[in-house]
């Protein structure tokens, strides 16, 4: 693509495109022409390592031939039909999903994306229990639609407030910055769990329909909870007839080194919501997955949900081929093994760069949290960039060096495609090593 063609694309972008999550009128993105494997290629020919898997969804890497061939074959037969008809791709994908979900989570409702899956899960828990209240945790993220924005526990919910009624918040575990002031998570007695128990008691446990959680908090820091906390929440739900919903939109389909993030904690939820890695972003698709208890209820009660593109045949065929790649290339296990290598390399960066306060990693899903002072854990940028914007310049530097990773506030997120090799991880770490000289330079002398 020549310079004139690139400029034409940028002009059309400036004149007609509304950007998500950004102020309009100043942003000018890099023009990407194609992608393959773990790499993206700019229209000017520059190569970038996609260390963010698109937006944490291109798990099998770009331009996988098996998936593309399956898509083409399905397009030759059928792309879309009314949801009242059955198709082979929809039936086969539902069966394949049931074979990798934990417990008796065997019943699949198809959606267009993760937020829509969560919206339907809100309906499901309210209708199943006959209750209205929903609990979700601060720092969690569940999507940008109306109800999901209310469930979200970060600043993205604020422009949408007051939001839907009946949603309460609780503090989940964030051991690096304990909301209850504990410095040692071995002596805190899982205070966040005890506080949640008290909160539910005061709220009235028989008024709460569901608790929504990410098994590992995603875009607010890759916060990994203690096993005891997760098992304690499951016990609370069992005691009070509350449905537990795990938002696996990011964690699911191998990102954390297991098929689903909840498996790290020995917890089986009542409902799983997922998207992203189900098709690796080749076509949009999400799912809400019920256990048998929920399914049995809706055998006798209509589930009033679904949009035009429910169970889209092309999307489902893409999902089938995508899951076949996971199995054929053993990507779930590779995520675990190469995730251990990634974590080792990140702790080596920690030893070299005083701006890194903490390293958190599960599978090929990691976060570096930056600090102004490692001893006091004083933030460098601060929550919502309340002190200064660091990541704008950091992102520019890594892009200049040929690496794409998502970064905001004090968090650098690392989530490469599951096909990445140890050598490619090392190449990317060397770029991060150089770019981290910038936040190091901002530390107090």
| 58-98 per-position pLDDT tens digit | 999 999 999 999 999 999 999 999 999 999 999 999 999 99
List all residues 6 or more positions away from 407 whose beta carbon is below 8 Å from its beta carbon. Answer: 391, 394, 395, 413
What percentage of residues in the chain have a pLDDT greater than 90? Answer: 88
User: If 0-12 CB within 10 Å is exposed, 13-18 middle and 19+ buried, where does residue 161 land?
Assistant: exposed
Q: Measuring CA to CA, how many Å separate 299 from each of 20, 260, 292, 302, 357?
A: 39, 26, 10, 7, 51
Higher-pLDDT residue of 27, 126 = 126
pLDDT band at 445 (very low <50, low <70, confident <90, very high): low
CATH topology of domain 66-328: 3.40.640
Q: What is the four-CA torsion angle of 203, 205, 209, 214, rounded to 10 degrees?
A: 80
What residues form DSSP beta bridges with 169? 136
Domain ranges of the chain: 31-60+330-441, 66-328
Res 370 pLDDT > 90: yes
pTM: 0.95
Encoded tokens for 427: 């190449």
Mean pLDDT, range 297-307, rounded to an integer: 94
Q: What is d(CA 442, CA 302) in angstroms, rounded to the nearest whole number? A: 58
| 150-202 per-position pLDDT tens digit | 999 988 988 888 999 999 999 999 999 999 888 877 778 899 999 999 999 99
Architecture of domain 31-60+330-441: Alpha-Beta Complex (3.90)
Range with the poorest average pLDDT among 102-106, 155-159, 356-360: 155-159
Domains 31-60+330-441 and 66-328 belong to one CATH topology: no
| 221-270 per-position pLDDT tens digit | 999 999 999 999 999 999 999 999 999 999 999 999 999 999 999 999 99
Contacts 24+ apart (CB under 8 A), 234-241: 234/267, 234/268, 234/269, 236/196, 236/197, 236/200, 236/205, 236/211, 237/211, 237/270, 239/205, 240/200, 240/205, 240/206, 240/208, 241/129, 241/206
What residues form DSSP beta bridges with 108? 289
Q: Name the DSSP letter for residue 177.
A: G
Q: Measuring CA to CA, how many Å separate 189 from each of 14, 136, 226, 350?
A: 53, 21, 11, 28
Res 25 pLDDT > 80: no
List all residues 6 or more positions away from 21 whose beta carbon is below 8 Å from its beta carbon. Answer: 156
């Amino acid at each position: 693509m020549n310079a004139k063609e690139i400029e034409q694309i940028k002009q059309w972008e400036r004149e007609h495109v509304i950007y998500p999550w950004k102020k309009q009128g100043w942003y000018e993105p890099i023009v990407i022409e194609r992608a393959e494997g773990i790499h993206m290629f700019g229209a000017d020919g520059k190569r970038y390592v996609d260390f963010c898997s698109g937006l944490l969804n291109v798990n099998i890497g770009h331009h996988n031939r098996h998936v593309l061939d399956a898509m083409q074959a399905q397009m030759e037969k059928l792309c879309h039909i009314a949801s009242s008809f059955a198709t082979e791709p929809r039936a086969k994908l539902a069966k394949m999903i049931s074979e990798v979900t934990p417990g008796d989570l065997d019943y699949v409702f198809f959606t267009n994306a993760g937020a829509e899956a969560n919206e339907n899960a809100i309906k499901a828990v309210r209708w199943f229990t006959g209750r209205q209240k929903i609990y979700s945790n601060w720092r969690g993220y569940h999507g940008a639609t109306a109800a999901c924005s209310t469930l979200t526990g970060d600043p993205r919910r604020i422009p949408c407030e007051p939001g839907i009624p009946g949603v309460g918040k609780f503090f989940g575990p964030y051991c690096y910055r304990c909301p209850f002031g504990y410095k040692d998570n071995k002596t805190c007695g899982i205070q966040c769990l005890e506080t949640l128990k008290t909160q539910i008691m005061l709220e009235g446990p028989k008024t709460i329909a569901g608790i929504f959680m990410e098994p590992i908090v995603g875009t607010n820091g890759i916060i990994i909870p203690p096993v005891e906390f997760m098992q304690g929440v499951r016990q609370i739900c069992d005691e009070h007839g509350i449905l537990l919903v795990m938002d696996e939109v990011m964690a699911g389909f191998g990102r954390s080194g297991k098929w689903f993030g909840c498996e790290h904690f020995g917890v089986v939820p009542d409902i799983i919501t997922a998207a992203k890695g189900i098709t690796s972003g080749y076509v949009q698709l999400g799912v809400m997955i019920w256990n048998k208890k929920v399914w049995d209820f809706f055998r006798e009660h209509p589930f009033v949900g679904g949009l035009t593109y429910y169970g889209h045949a092309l999307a489902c065929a893409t999902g089938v081929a995508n899951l076949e790649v996971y199995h054929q290339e053993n990507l779930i296990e590779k995520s675990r093994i190469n995730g251990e290598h990634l974590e080792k390399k990140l702790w080596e960066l920690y030893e070299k760069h005083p701006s890194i306060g903490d390293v958190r990693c599960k599978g090929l899903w990691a976060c570096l949290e930056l600090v102004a002072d490692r001893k006091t854990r004083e933030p460098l940028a601060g929550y919502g960039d309340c002190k200064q914007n660091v990541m704008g310049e950091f992102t520019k530097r890594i892009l200049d060096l040929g690496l794409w990773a998502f970064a905001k506030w004090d968090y650098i997120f690392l989530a490469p495609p599951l096909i990445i090799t140890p050598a490619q991880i090392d190449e990317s770490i060397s770029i991060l090593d150089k770019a981290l000289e910038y936040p190091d330079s901002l530390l107090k002398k």
